[in-house]
Amino acid sequence: MAGSAHVAAERLRGVLDAVATMSSDLSLEGLLERILRQAGDLVDAESGFLDVLDRRIGTFAAYGIDGVVDNQHPGRLLLVDLLEHPDRRVVRGAAGGTDPTAFIGVPIRIQDYLFGNLYLIGKRSGPGFTQEDEEIVLALASAAGVVIENARLYEEGRRQRMWLEAAAEITTALLSPISRPSALLLVADRARDVAAADFVALLMPRDADTFVVEAVSGAPDEGILGEPVDARHSVAGEAARSRETVVVPDTALEPRYETHKTPGWPHLGSLMVLPLRSGDDTGALVVGWSNCTDNQRRELDPVVPQRFADQAALVLQVARAQEDQARLAVFEDRDRIGRDLHDLVIQRMFGIGLLLDNTAKLVTSQVAIDRLSSAIDDIDETIKDIRRTIFALSPGTGTSDLRAEIDHTLRHASKLLGFTPDLRLTGPVDSVVTDEVREHLMAVLGEAISNIVRHADAGTVQVTLDVGRDIELTVSDDGVGFSDGQAGDGLRNIRVRAALLRGRCEVAGAPGKGTTITWTVPRSAS
């Protein structure tokens, strides 16, 4: 009796140690394998497997059972399914009618629902499993349910914290002025990081029937930027129309996913599409995984990510408002400058012209009269130039003085560089380049000059704008050069701006040999 009591005590201690081991790490990673191994060790089982019904946690865990599982359905077992025996605490024997002591199957329950089934096969140290083995495995299965639930809650809390931190980060970005392309890129990058996704794309509506890919993270080919995506028959379109998250666990079974496959779109095995609910225009945040592992399957729960998407939509709305406000400020400055030129400068020039004209009448020297007449003609031409400038400054004329704006940017840069960059303009710069293209072009020029000031240590800078079949901006320097490993957000934003206009950006250079950035967009973009 004393010996039996000692053995029972040892086995009870083994159960407690097993529970402690299972509870030592709240991470879901490897939890199912730990539970299965602990159960097998307690009853000295040759092999075992754990079939999971709750796909949020995992699908399957096994050891020592090569060839037992149906390869077509790795979570569906060929031996026995405890769902067929809802009233049993333990199932003995296999479907083929083998020795009932050679097999144990027990359910793992979390509160009132069946999480999965634990199966153990073959006892190494005896002819078969005993009643005591059954009780031990049942006790362990009960404890495992609690451990799994605690781990699930911990994992949900961790995921929620990560998404909330990401939402806070993109919100903090609004404390300083941020362009809309930069805001889009920040949202895509943070969503991919937090979701451990392979690919993220932000689709914004071009019209009622079409999305445009405006930002991507994780794409092997940035040529996808600016590509259209059907908004009528796609998963993204459904998410935008319903303003609800759409989850696709297996894209092979979702025919609407095919409409997403624009040039450059990567292969995705599963995805989650979150609506960007902002005012009347609803975009879509596409989060995708190449192969849906257990960890990624947990990310398909859309509740917390949708909060991030809602915050992202607000951030994009504010970024757009900031751009509109900045654009309005530019228009107001143009109006003020135009009024000052008209009311002050032109009037003074006109007065000087009259004074010179009256002076010419008092002069008898023909040489002096000719010089005064030439000066008066120059003043008249200057007044005409100023009036043309005033007209170009007026919003709504459809043109803008791009030459003057570029010249102003380079004059400002000369204070930082210590010299004035060389400028060459060819083609109908002011008449062809629209305000939309001009806005992107000036941002690219500013970013390129900023990179030279901060990193290049250049002695000369050449800026060329050629408006021909394409609109091509080239900025080159003779500085320290550029290597692929030095790519930062600035060059990335330049490429994004080119892609949004269906253009391209090329960066050439080498350490010690300077850098040349060539930014090209089709003339049709204007």
Look at the block and give the residue holding tokens 């005012």. Answer: 279
Under-70 pLDDT residues of the chain: 1-29, 54-101, 174-175, 177, 220-223, 259-261, 263, 279-280, 292-301, 391-401, 430-431, 482-490, 525-526
Are 203 and 142 within one domain? Answer: no
Sequence-ordered strand ranges (E) for 93-164: 103-110, 113-123
Q: Is residue 505 part of a domain?
A: yes
Last-in-domain residue among 323, 353, 376: 323
Are 207 and 299 within one domain? Answer: yes
Are 165 and 151 within one domain? Answer: no
Are 189 and 107 within one domain? Answer: no
Last-in-domain residue among 299, 323, 347: 323
Are 308 and 424 within one domain? Answer: no
Q: Report pLDDT for 70.
A: 42
Residue 76 CA to residue 491 CA, distance in Å, equals: 50
Q: Is residue 333 part of a domain?
A: no
Are 8 and 42 within one domain? Answer: yes
Are 131 and 37 within one domain? Answer: yes
pLDDT, one tens digit per residue, over 216-269 is: 888 766 667 777 888 888 888 888 888 888 888 888 888 887 766 676 788 888
Last-in-domain residue among 323, 347, 370: 323
Q: Give the range of the structural domain holding residue 301, as residue numbers without chain letter.
A: 160-323
Q: Report pLDDT for 518.
A: 95
Are 145 and 180 within one domain? Answer: no
Do the Cβ atoms of 493 and 185 come closer than 8 Å? yes
Neighbouring CB atoms inside 10 A of 263's CB total: 8
Neighbouring CB atoms inside 10 A of 9's CB total: 10
Distances (CA, A) of 457 to 181, 407, 453, 481: 28, 21, 7, 9
Q: Report pLDDT for 352.
A: 86
Q: Is residue 356 part of a domain?
A: no
Q: Which residues contact 73 (CB under 8 A, 6 or more apart)?
A: none
Q: Report pLDDT for 65.
A: 59
Q: Is residue 496 part of a domain?
A: yes
Do the Cβ atoms of 166 and 193 come closer than 8 Å? yes
pLDDT, one tens digit per residue, over 330-384 is: 777 777 887 787 778 878 888 888 888 888 888 888 888 888 888 888 888 888 7
Q: Is residue 429 part of a domain?
A: yes
Are 212 and 316 within one domain? Answer: yes
Neighbouring CB atoms inside 10 A of 339's CB total: 12
Q: Report pLDDT for 521.
A: 92
CATH number, domain at 430?
Answer: 3.30.565.10
Are 188 and 251 within one domain? Answer: yes
CATH number, domain at 231?
Answer: 3.30.450.40
Are 280 and 138 within one domain? Answer: no
Name the residue among 429, 440, 438, 445 with its Cα closest to residue 517. 445
Q: Is residue 376 part of a domain?
A: no
Number of domains in the chain: 3
In this structure, what is the dihedral angle of CA atoms 226, 231, 235, 240, given to the nearest 10 degrees? 100
